[in-house]
């Protein structure tokens, strides 16, 4: 076989099933590649060679089979895996080894997916560049001096650089789709409740959703079907069948569909090169037989401020559990200090600046005197955004926009300007507030850097993303980074 790391997940599974290769060789090829290049990329926080090879051996022994058996995967470090360090990109959980598997991990394991290790991320998934990781940033394989997106930049960089054909991300405000956009990969945020949140370290519970990262739409669909489905351990999990996403990716036919271009997701803040590629993508969709209409979602303009009240509010509550008693770091516990002092020292040292900013913002927004003015108001905006989506989906089957307003920016560029960082999520946040599924897939390059096309669908209609995505993908070869930095 040629270089096993260049194969898609589907090709790997087929080659293993046909006996042309075996899962151990595939796992080893990816582990070797990580050993060779990850010093430059820093996509991984922890590599679990032993665990990966053990699963691969079980697949080769015929103990596990299925459509993704023996396929390597990189897991965002926000998802707990029994016995494997889980840091969430934070010092506060350094050294913590979870005593159980997330439902997502359970499902991956029983499908024979080979988990290579844990990927880097912005601390507690707060950010758009991985620069807020307490363990240093990840680099974009297209240009090592640029960001790979965030918060799941480790997952997207691993997939784009052929360290893994698949990865898991989580998307609260765009953390699967924006990294996919800026690394030229495919990323999907499923319908809220489509994939269990059990075992995800919580950021904003009404928004958090795990989903697939891959290099092709079909690979994302295969992974989607493995991880999705009802889980009684997550009370917001949807108790109905998983949308037929693999079938839809095979169908890849959009003739007769109506596609809505969202007027509000363009203009100010969007780079001309991004808008250019997006306009061409819309032309392509028309050429494929879709009817394209313009739709207006007037409240999308308020999505960003609403999100930056709701998400920090929920985070301020969720992060209260990092109290120096239950998990991870404990600072200053010398026997003389009170519990409150130890707690405060631990949180002061264990959390980074962005996490503290969010906790302070959220605590303020929830305080009794301001609750109605901030949190209450943001919830109303959330309802209006949902109404915008409902009205738009009466006119169009799916909506499209650029997935990120810019191409990958240089490391350091937005670090001193939190609002500029937040604006990376302009196009992705509306779907989170509404709860509907959305995908980013590559639609060409601008200045040699990838641009992402976002497709948004009504809740529980995830298959529509794959139908449109696969049809579009067929018109354009998957982009491959130059990788000229490789030793
Ligand atoms: N960039 C957004 C934030 O910082 C989204 C994060 C996410 O989706 N986890 O909150």
Q: pLDDT in tens for each of the 487 residues of the chain?
A: 569 999 999 999 999 999 999 999 999 999 999 999 999 999 999 999 999 999 999 999 999 999 999 999 999 999 999 999 999 999 999 999 999 999 999 999 999 999 999 999 999 999 999 999 999 999 999 999 999 999 999 999 999 999 999 999 999 999 999 999 999 999 999 999 999 999 999 999 999 999 999 999 999 999 999 999 999 999 999 999 999 999 999 999 999 999 999 999 999 999 999 999 999 999 999 999 999 999 999 999 999 999 999 999 999 999 999 998 888 899 999 999 999 999 999 999 999 999 999 999 999 999 999 999 999 999 999 999 999 999 999 999 999 999 999 999 999 999 999 999 999 999 999 999 999 999 999 999 999 999 999 999 999 999 999 999 999 999 998 899 999 999 7
State the pairing for strand pair 291-295/210-214.
unpaired
CB 358 within 8 A of CB 316: yes
Name the DSSP letter for residue 301.
G
What CA–CA distance (Å, rounded) separates 132 from 39?
19
Strand partners, 187: 213, 440
CA of 122 to the centre of ligand 1 (A): 9
- Give me ligand 1 centre to Cα 12, in Å: 32
Instruction: Give the number of the atom of ligand 1 that is nearest the alpha carbon of residue 171.
Output: 8
Q: Which residues of 359-391 are buried (b: 16+ CB within 10 A; e: fewer)?
A: bebbebbbeeeeeeebbebbbebbebbbebbee
Minimum CA distance residue for ligand 1 atom 5: 173
Q: Could you list the active site residues? A: 76, 151, 175
Minimum-distance ligand 1 atom for the alpha carbon of 127? 4
Is 172 close to ligand 1, i.e. is its CB under 6 Å away? yes
Helices then strands, each counted (H, E), the chain: 16, 11
Question: Ligand 1 centre from 291 Cα, in Å?
Answer: 33
Ligand 1 near 128 CB (within 6 A): yes
d(Cα 114, Cα 326) in Å, to the nearest integer?
A: 30
- Does the CB atom of residue 169 touch ligand 1 within 6 A? no
Q: Would you kindly state where each structural domain of the chain is located, as residue ranges? A: 4-250+472-486
Order of strands, sheet of 166-170, starting from the edge strand that comes earlier in the sequence: 44-47, 114-119, 72-76, 166-170, 210-214, 186-189, 438-446, 449-456, 398-402, 258-262, 291-295
State if residue 174 touches ligand 1 by the CB under 6 angstroms criterion. Answer: yes
Q: Classify each residue of 220-257 as buried b or exposed e, where b means 16 or more C-beta atoms within 10 Å of its C-beta.
A: bbbbbbbbbbebeebeebbeeebbbbbebbeebebeeb
Whether residue 126 has its Cβ less than 6 Å from ligand 1: yes
Nearest to 182 by CA among 340, 464, 454, 404: 404
What HEC string does 21-46 produce?
A: CCHHHHHHHHHHHHHHHHHHHCCEEE
* Nearest CA owner, ligand 1 atom 10: 126
- For residue 375, what pLDDT is reported? 95
Residue 39 phi, psi (nearest 5): -60, -35
Q: How many angstroms is it from 129 CA to the middle of ligand 1?
A: 10
Backbone angle region of 450, left / alpha / beta, with phi > 0 → left and psi within -120 to 50 → alpha: beta
Nearest C-alpha neighbor of 465 from the set 159, 105, 212 = 212
Q: Could you tell me if the CB of 173 is within 6 A of ligand 1?
A: yes
Q: What is the model's pTM? A: 0.98
Mutate to test the pocket of ligand 1, among 90, 130, 150 (most ligand atoms within 8 A of CB): 150
The answer to whether 265 and 299 have CB atoms below 8 angstroms apart is no
Is ligand 1 within 6 A of the CB of residue 211?
no
Q: Which tokens go with 479? A: 């982009």
- Name the class of domain 4-250+472-486: alpha beta
Q: Determine whether 454 is exposed, middle or buried from the number of CB atoms within 10 Å of its CB (0-12, 13-18, 19+).
A: buried
pLDDT confidence of residue 1? 52
Give the list of residues 6+ apart from residue 449 with CB closer than 8 angstroms, or none: 142, 143, 146, 182, 407, 408
Contact between 189 and 155 (Cβ < 8 Å): no
Q: How far apart are CA 81 and CA 64, in angstroms?
A: 19
Q: How far is the CA of 172 from the centre of ligand 1 (A)?
A: 6
């Amino acid at each position: 076989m040629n270089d096993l790391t260049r194969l898609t997940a589907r090709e790997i599974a087929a080659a293993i099933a046909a006996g042309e290769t075996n899962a151990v060789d595939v796992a080893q090829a990816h582990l070797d590649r990580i050993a060779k290049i990850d010093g430059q990329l820093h996509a991984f926080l922890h590599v679990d060679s032993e665990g990966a090879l053990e699963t691969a051996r079980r697949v080769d022994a015929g103990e596990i089979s299925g459509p993704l058996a023996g396929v390597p995967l990189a897991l965002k470090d926000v998802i707990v895996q029994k016995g494997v360090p889980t840091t969430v990109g934070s010092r506060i959980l350094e050294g913590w080894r979870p005593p159980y598997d997330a439902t997502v991990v359970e499902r991956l394991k029983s499908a024979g997916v080979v988990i290579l290790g844990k990927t880097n991320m912005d601390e507690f998934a707060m950010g758009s560049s991985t620069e807020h990781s307490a363990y240093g940033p990840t680099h974009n394989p297209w240009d090592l001096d640029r960001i790979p997106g965030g918060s799941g930049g480790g997952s997207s960089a691993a997939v784009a650089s052929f360290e893994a054909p698949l990865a898991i991300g989580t998307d609260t405000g765009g953390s699967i789709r924006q990294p996919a956009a800026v690394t030229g990969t495919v990323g999907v945020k499923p319908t809220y409740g489509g994939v269990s949140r059990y075992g995800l370290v919580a950021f904003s519970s009404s928004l958090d959703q795990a989903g697939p990262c891959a290099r092709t739409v079909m690979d994302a669909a295969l992974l989607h079907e493995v991880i999705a489905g009802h889980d009684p351990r997550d009370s917001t999990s949807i108790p109905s069948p998983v949308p037929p996403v693999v079938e839809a990716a095979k169908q890849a036919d959009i003739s007769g569909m109506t596609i809505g271009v969202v007027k509000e997701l363009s203009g100010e803040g969007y780079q001309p090169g991004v808008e250019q590629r997006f306009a061409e993508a819309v032309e392509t969709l028309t050429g494929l037989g879709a009817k394209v209409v313009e739709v207006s979602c007037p409240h999308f303009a308020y999505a960003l401020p609403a999100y930056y009240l709701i998400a920090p509010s929920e985070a301020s509550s969720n992060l209260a559990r990092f109290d120096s008693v239950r998990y991870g770091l404990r600072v200053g516990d010398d026997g003389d200090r009170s519990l409150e002092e130890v707690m405060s020292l631990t949180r002061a040292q264990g959390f980074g600046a962005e996490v503290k900013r969010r906790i302070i913002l959220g605590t303020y927004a929830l305080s009794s005197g301001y609750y109605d003015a901030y949190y209450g108001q943001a919830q109303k905006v959330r309802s209006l955004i949902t109404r915008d989506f409902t009205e738009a989906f009466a006119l169009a089957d799916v909506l499209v926009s650029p997935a990120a307003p810019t191409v990958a920016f240089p490391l350091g560029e937005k670090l001193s300007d939190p609002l500029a960082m937040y604006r990376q999520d302009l196009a992705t946040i509306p779907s989170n507030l509404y709860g509907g599924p959305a995908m980013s897939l590559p639609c060409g390059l601008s200045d040699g850097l990838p641009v992402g096309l976002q497709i948004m669908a009504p809740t529980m209609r995830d298959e529509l993303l794959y139908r449109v995505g696969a049809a579009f993908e067929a018109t354009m070869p998957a982009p491959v980074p130059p990788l000229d930095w490789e030793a």
